[in-house]
A and B are shown apart, each in its own frame.
Chain A
């Protein structure tokens, strides 16, 4: 084992763990693991001078010693038999995995991504053949992180041309631990992928996650980050649109409590012409929780007629909660169709609260209604109703559950 004073890593992990992880892997995987481990060892923790790391300074953090947990990811695939859901290390799919693994999120990007590439376990491949439209969601349920353990989930999604799939990546655990996840999503020409991340890690977990989707021509992507669990979450969520006609939405719903800290970096990268992006990130923060959203919209030369929007709204439900929403626009193209952004942070609107109270609704219920409405307004963009309800339920657990609600159709039917 080597130890590097300039580039300290996670105590408790050694290159022996790479060998253990490699046991059930084919040789080419073992080789990438060893290379990634060397990269991990050689890299420093991110510099807090970097804009993206300013508000979550890893160099000041002490990482507890952690041993790898045996992560298990259950994939519910029984009803989608036209699509492949397999172990990433399985030799049956080696060709396709070899072609795409580590090509969208590179081990060299930063230290914990390299660590993931070295130690991932429970990795999943989701491969949707051309023209196949999976009508039911694929849910990945990650569990098995023991209190104080370390987990390295990894997902590779390949949606071939004109296919479609929705994926729910739901992680939970109890207690503390360390997690570094990587998700690579390749969306082929005319294909559509929806990817919903539900972070319900235990309240002591340090959670690092990188998700990057790359969209083909006329492809469509919907991504959601639901922040519920963890002590610290640092999530990078990037969407690359190198080809014309691609469209994407990035949605975020986070409910912070206690001393939770969420730090999101997003990228809407317009390269192809006529690409469209929209980002809606919302949070409600209580107690001493805090949130950073640092989101870049980049419209490159050649991305003519691009349309982009980014909006971050943050409800501060206590006077000690903090939000720093930072929208960044980098526009190089001359002929942009539309580009807008907005960021707010503040308490519940008192005129809205008063309106509800003036109708007899007690203040606490009124506030709860406003918080639900606040999230519902983002979540309604999720096309699938069941999923909408699932996400809203998951987030509002933090608000003490959901209020009884009724739809007009229920009223008409009931």
Chain B
């Protein structure tokens, strides 16, 4: 049996006093790719941020286990050290902090030991090459003045360097042109190992042509209202969200209440 990596039960999350996630369940095993799709504002980024421990996303109920350990009480840095990684939808820029220093600090922090310069260099050069990123990137300030596409590549670069067990990727495909999408997707595939579990948040089927999910979930108003295989994404692509939402009676609040186990 596959080893369980992430287990979310009945997660509820509020942002500024407003309930956004309304009891969410999800289990991700090692080696699995789970796509999460859903209309704008359905709570996808809220899920991603809450899992990583963003202080602005207040967990009001439920529990989350990572590698069998309850993580909701842990600070974000400790979650990362335990092997969680979030590729942000909107990566923030940090003027004055160079990529090379940032990446080195992050690598040391996640490994909780010093990283020899040589090893750091080999790893960084290889990952830059894989993602077709110019070496000069390392000299620049973190995300400062990066184009949308460069920011997304930089997130995947970090995924490669930090080597997590769980990668939550929040719309890593948005803002990429077709060539960049292929590069990034192939990069993610090359970085994927049997130990890695992936939660792939996306709006587009086109990404799923490259990174094949075993599971597709639809998030709507803070709950997963439908789960299925890759065919579900194809169905969404063809029909949009309406049929799925309608299937739950058109008033998702009721539909979700009925679904509650």
Contact = CB atoms under 8 A, between A and B. Distances in A.
Interface stretch (A31-39, A85-93, A159-167, A372-380): A372-380
A355 interface: yes
Nearest to B80: A360
A281 to B, nearest CB: 15
Given A355-B92, A358-B86, A408 B100 contact: yes
A358 B138 contact: no
Given A357-B75, A370-B97, A406 B80 contact: no
B158 interface: yes
Contacts of B100: 406-408, 411
B141 interface: yes
A359 B105 CA distance: 9
Interface stretch (A146-154, A242-250, A346-354): A346-354
Interface stretch (B118-126, B234-242, B245-253): B118-126
Q: Is the interface of B mostly helix, strand, loop or mixed?
A: helix
A411 B80 contact: no
B174 interface: no
Given A408-B138, A414-B118, A361 B77 contact: yes
A412 B141 CA distance: 18
A355 B91 contact: yes
B81 to A, nearest CB: 5
Contact of B76 (A358, A374, A405, A407): A358
A382 B222 CA distance: 51
A396 interface: no
A357 B135 CA distance: 25
A406 B56 contact: no
Contacts of A370: 94, 97
B75 to A, nearest CB: 7
B104 interface: yes
Given A376-B96, A406-B100, A354 B55 contact: yes
A373 B121 contact: no
Contacts of B55: 350, 354
Contacts of B5: none
A125 B91 CA distance: 52
B195 interface: no
B94 A355 contact: yes
Contact of A359 (B96, B109, B117): B109
A363 interface: yes
B228 interface: no
A362 B76 CA distance: 8
Contacts of A414: 117-118, 121
B102 interface: yes
Contact of A360 (B96, B110, B135): B110
Given A357-B77, A375-B96, A408 B139 contact: yes
5 contacts: A356-B105, A356-B106, A362-B77, A373-B94, A407-B100
B92 A359 contact: no
A296 interface: no
A369 B81 CA distance: 18
A375 to B, nearest CB: 7
B94 A406 contact: no
Interface string A313-350: 00000000000000000000000000000000000011
A193 B106 CA distance: 40
A58 B182 CA distance: 66
A51 interface: no
Given A350-B55, A358-B86, A359-B162, A405 B101 contact: yes
Interface in A204-233: none
A359 B95 contact: no
A365 interface: yes
A383 B121 CA distance: 28
